[in-house]
A and B are shown apart, each in its own frame.
Chain A
Amino acid sequence: MEAKQYIGEGWKHAILIIGAIVVMLPFYMMVSMSLKSQQEIQSISGGLIGAQETQTFPVCVKTGYSEETCTMKPYQYNYWFAFEKAPIPRYLMNGVIVTLSIFIIQVLVALPCAYALAKLRFYGREFVFSMVLFCLLIPVHGIALPLYVMLAQAGLVDTYSALILPWTISVFGIFLMRQFFMTVPDELIDAARMDGMGEYAIVWKVMLPTAIPALLAFAIFSVVAHWNDYFWPRMVITGNRDLFTPPLGIREFRGGIDSDEFGPMMASIVTVTVPLIVAFIIAQKRFIEGITLTGMK
């Protein structure tokens, strides 16, 4: 029995390891290419990190740098040249600006509404809630075209507003927060009212602190979705590099697959992809919780 169980366990690991290898394949390729020299990439040699021989890079010399500056190890060159070629920090900053603005506005709109729906009694509450439920069915990517038409008519294409505005309302956030506030005891709110707190103060000073765990999960959900989103920025940002979010930057690095140097290109892609992945590995549990929250997207 014992031996049989070990064999069974071994088989499972064998299957899972093959699966893991397939899953990791593009990650391996990405990291490996960002470290190796062009020749090693083209001849598929050098394993993960390549030989790392110090050499002079012709493309760099052609761009106008002195031969001395262009002599270094492949991994240094790839990452250095990536930052020389494209304003990567700018793209990352745009990503931060857009995702944070979206999240903050979403919370500013959703939290009071969720509180009203959960804890205040007023005429039309049921109607508002069913409106929220209906809006949950609408895929925002699906209505991208009419939204684009509206933004174009308002002259907002190629602005930060275009990137942020359509996402300011998160019906999912309202729904989630409402469900959460339902579990907060009424006594807490009554006590706050006794102390003379107004409804505004209650929302921000009583409800917000109790909602931190749910809010954190929602934050991860929202930030990951918008950091990775490519479709919407691709629609509304046509040429202005200053507004590029990380995925648009990635698209730009790619250039022509046959003409470019692959090392620096992959180095830029790694740089842009890494922040989220590192955050994920550090706070795995939170991330999985946040993203699978209900998977509404």
Chain B
Amino acid sequence: MHNSKAHIWFIAPAIVLMIIILIFPLFLAGGISFTDYNLGNKTFEWVGLENYDKMFNRKTYVKMIWATATYVIVVVPISVVLGLCAAMLLNSLRFGADIYKTIFFLPVMATLLAMAIAWEFTLHPTLGIVNSFLANGCGGVREFILGFHWLPWVDSQESWYAVACANNMDFPYWLKQKNTAIWTVCFIGIWQAFGFNMVLYLAGLTSIPRELYQAAEMDGAKSTWEQFKLVTWPMLGPTTLFVVTITTIRTFQVFDTIEILTKGGPSKTTYVMMYAIFEKAIQQNLTSIGAAITVVFIGFILVLTFFQRYVIEKRVHY
């Protein structure tokens, strides 16, 4: 057997880097969050929980928590469900599945920042094709479908579409309006994330044995929906858990689209945590409050991952 001390040289660099780059910063962020330290200051004082107190009581930070929560709660479920639906549709297709797969995966690959700018133009009120598409559809089928006139309780004169048409094509300035900005950013988030989930679900679907469906059919589960409930959904349990956790962690970290498109506005409706850290700590040099946000942020993510790894993981495995 080998008696060399080679292992020390093999693991030492990794351990040193792990401690300096990953573990020490956790403590540093924790430490700074209890002080009034700002980058460039020579001295600092301990201020106890003051930064956290600010965070949970000042309007700005309350809005930050709201914006982050809204974004996560909207983007995660929709992008997971869309990913699942796309995967199941593709899986049942006779031909052409590969083309759709490539297309749906493109947003995952493409530089998000570039795509955010492309969306900005696509959704622009005077330059964008979305609003011109809507304006050209006034009084036609587009208005009927997208204005939800087919729902019995929607008055065809009062729908958002009809009102916009009547008011000289006053369609929303999607990214600049208080009531649409967060939803538009969410939409871009979903657009970017669902292809990733789709691919994970496709992998999950191929690992379900065919015999299970035959067995389910013999047990009387004839319709697609019944088979889905009885076989597909339970068998995808572990995949779903994984997809939800990964998507949540990635969604929490949203930054690119916010920084380039809305800068947290209008009136802080899209002021998500990563952007808040950046704005407070880097642009305004309020390091200590940024550190407090960092601690809360990491706390969220650690709790989430622990929850996934040690609590639920034991229950979903069949």
Chain A residues with Cβ under 8 A from B15's Cβ? Answer: 128, 131
Residue contact B282 to A148, C-beta cutoff 8 Å: yes
Q: Give the residues in chain B near A277, CB-CB below 8 Å.
A: 106, 109-110
B55 to chain A, nearest CB (A): 14
Asked whether B10 lies within 8 Å of A203 as measured between CB atoms, the reply is yes
Determine which residue in B92, B113, B274, B305 has the highest number of CB atoms from chain A within 10 A of its CB, and name it: B113
A-B contact count (CB 8 A): 251
Q: Which residues of A contact B18 (CB under 8 A)?
A: 131-132, 135, 169, 171
A-side contacts of B110, CB under 8 Å: 27, 228, 273, 276-277
Whether B302 is near chain A, meaning CB under 8 Å from some CB there, is yes
- Nearest-neighbour CB distance to chain B for A266, whole angstroms, equals 8
Q: Which size bracket describes the interface of A in this complex?
A: 35 or more
Residues in A neighbouring B13, C-beta threshold 8 A? 108-109, 112-113
Closest to A122 in B: B7
CB contacts (< 8 Å) of A132 on chain B: these are 14, 18
Interface string of A183-201 (1 = CB under 8 A from B): 0000000000100001110
Question: Are A142 and B9 in contact, with the CB atoms below 8 A?
Answer: no
Is the beta-carbon distance between A135 and B23 smaller than 8 angstroms? yes
CB contacts under 8 Å to A, within B304-318, are 305-306
Q: Beyond A20-B100, A20-B104, A27-B106, is A149–B287 a contact (Cβ under 8 Å)?
A: yes
The answer to whether B102 touches A30, judged by C-beta atoms less than 8 angstroms apart, is: no
Residues of chain B within 8 A (CB-CB) of A266 are: 118, 121
**Which of the segments A59-67, A69-77, A210-218, A284-292 contacts the partner chain?**
A284-292
Q: Given A128-B11, A139-B253, A146-B29, does the pair A254, B260 have CB atoms closer than 8 Å? A: yes
Chain B residues engaging chain A, CB cutoff 8 angstroms: 2, 4, 6-7, 9-11, 13-15, 17-18, 21-26, 28-29, 32, 39, 86, 89-90, 92-94, 96, 100, 102-115, 117-122, 124, 126-130, 132, 191, 195-196, 199-200, 203, 242, 246, 249-250, 253, 255-256, 259-260, 274, 277-278, 281-282, 287, 290-291, 294, 297-298, 301-302, 305-306
Return the 9 tightest CB-CB contacts between A and B, nearest first.
A199-B6, A26-B118, A146-B25, A112-B10, A169-B17, A113-B14, A116-B10, A146-B28, A30-B118
Interface, chain A (partner B; CB < 8 A): 9, 12-13, 15-16, 19-20, 22-30, 33, 41-42, 44, 108-110, 112-113, 115-117, 120, 122, 128, 131-132, 135, 137-150, 152, 165-166, 168-169, 171, 174, 193, 198-200, 203, 224, 227-228, 230-231, 234-235, 246-247, 250-251, 254, 257, 262, 266, 269, 272-273, 276-277, 280-281, 284, 287-288, 291-292, 295-297
